[in-house]
Amino acid sequence: MSVNKVILVGNLGRDPEVRATPSGQSVCTFSLATTDRFTDRTGQQRDLTEWHNVVVWGKQADNCGQYLKKGRQVYIEGRLTTRQYEAKDGTGKRYRTEVVAQRVQFLGGRPASGFDDGVADFNSSPDTPPPMDDEDIPF
C-alpha cells in the first residue's frame, strides 16, 4: 500500500491563472508559499519559505480563478505529481513537481484583498481528472 497525500496552508504568491484544455475542462494554476518559523543556533528567529506549484481542475478551478488573489490564504489537500516536458529552447527535458489539488478551502484574506475574511469551501468531487496527453496541458 502507498499514500500520496499533501496538506498545505499558505498564501498565494501570484494571482491564479485559469485556462481550458482543448476538451473544455478548466484548469487553474498558482504558486503557494508556506513558511516555517524556527530559531537558529544563534537564537535568532528565522523564516524558511517553501514555494509549491498548485494545479486545480474543473469547477474548483473556476472558483479559484474567480475568488483567489495574490496574498490570499488557502488550505489545499491533494497529491504530488511530477510531469516531464521538453524545454521550449530545445535544451532538453525539464521536470515540474506540482500539487494536484483535490480540495481547496479559502481561508481568511489579507486586509488589502477586499475579500470577506470568512471561510469559503468550494470542494467539488475529489475525483481525479481524466488522463491527458501533453497537448491537453495549456501551459
Which pLDDT score, from 0 to 100, does residue 108 have? 78
Q: Taking a C-beta distance cutoff of 8 angstroms, is the pair 106, 119 a contact?
A: yes
Quote the CATH superfamily of domain 6-131: Nucleic acid-binding proteins (2.40.50.140)
Residue that the C-alpha cell 535568532 belongs to:
44
Stretch 79-97: mean pLDDT, rounded? Answer: 91
Tens digits of residue pLDDT in 73-83: 999 999 999 99
Q: How many Cα neighbours within 13 Å face the side chain of 129? A: 26
Higher pLDDT, 88 or 79: 79
Residue that the C-alpha cell 498558482 belongs to:
30
Tens digits of residue pLDDT in 7-65: 999 999 999 999 999 999 999 999 999 999 999 999 999 999 999 999 999 999 999 99
* Strand ranges for the chain from DSSP E: 6-12, 17-20, 26-39, 45-57, 73-86, 93-106, 120-121
CA distances (Å), origin 94, targets 30, 136, 138: 19, 17, 16
Cβ count within 10 A of residue 72: 22
The domain limits of the chain are 6-131
Q: What does pTM read for this prediction? A: 0.74
